[in-house]
Amino acid sequence: MSGLIVLDYGGGNLKSVTNILDKLGYTYNLTAKKEDILEADKIILPGQGHFGQFMKSLNSKGLTEALTHKINSGTPFLGICLGIQVLFEESEEAPGIKGLCIFPGKVVKFTEGKVPQIGWNELKITTNNTVLTNDYVYFVNSYHVVPENKEIISAYSDYYMGFVASIEYKNIFAFQFHPEKSGEVGFEFFRRWIEKN
């Protein structure tokens, strides 16, 4: 097995995530190879970027099917920022481009306030949560997910309206916020997720 992989799809924010893993002392493989995805026993998908560009990059590298297969087959998965959004079917950011379709639902743009939302907001965790706590975490996002199945939501936050801050379902954890930019709180989220899985 390839152990823990961090998927390098050509987008931003990889260094912040790998720095956290280095501090925690975990071994990982930074990769964009299909065979590494298929052999991984944990996958982290960090993300800053554009929904459409990400999906085009994944499709052009032939990685979409491998990633979807691993997520659906029960491999522990952690998605960050864009990594939560691409789990859904579509996004207003890229009309006509299909996401990974792991969950039914869509990604919509904030209709109030300045976008992107940049800064610290409080998590309001739900009962469906095994990793997070009611802390302030760091967000940089113009879009947020709207799952059809509300039972997968593990935390909300507020930015002129309530929005989904994280989801948790079986092997899948995904955060709209950036744990790697959330100080000691985010550090602990990473540690708990890795130790849980």
Residue 8 DSSP SS3: coil
pLDDT > 80? residue 116: yes
Average pLDDT over residues 117-144: 94
Strands 29-31 and 77-80: unpaired
Instruction: Output the pLDDT for position 2.
Output: 64
What is the model's pTM?
A: 0.95
Instruction: Output the pLDDT for position 48.
Output: 80
Structural domain including 9 reads 3-196
Token couple for 125: 């965790």
Instruction: Output the pLDDT for position 47.
Output: 80
Instruction: Dump pLDDT digits (tens) for 13-23.
Output: 788 899 999 99
- How many structural domains compose the chain? 1
Task: Report the CATH number at residue 36.
Answer: 3.40.50.880
Instruction: Output the pLDDT for position 166.
Output: 98
Instruction: Output the pLDDT for position 1.
Output: 44
pLDDT > 90? residue 111: yes
Percent of the chain with pLDDT over 70: 98
Active site residues: 81, 178, 180
Q: How many CB atoms lie within 10 A of CB 54?
A: 26
Instruction: Dump pLDDT digits (tens) for 158-192.
Output: 999 999 999 999 999 999 999 999 999 999 999 99
List, in order, residues 6 or more apart from 73 with CB less than 8 Å away: none
Residue 178 DSSP SS3: strand
Instruction: Dump pLDDT digits (tens) for 11-60.
Output: 667 888 999 999 999 999 999 999 999 999 999 999 888 999 999 999 99
pLDDT > 50? residue 90: yes
Q: How confident is the model at residue 10 (pLDDT cuts 50, 70, 90)?
A: confident
Of 127 and 138, the structure prediction assigns the larger pLDDT to 138
For residue 167, give Cα distances in angstroms to 57, 60, 123, 132, 136.
24, 28, 12, 10, 17
Instruction: Output the pLDDT for position 63.
Output: 92
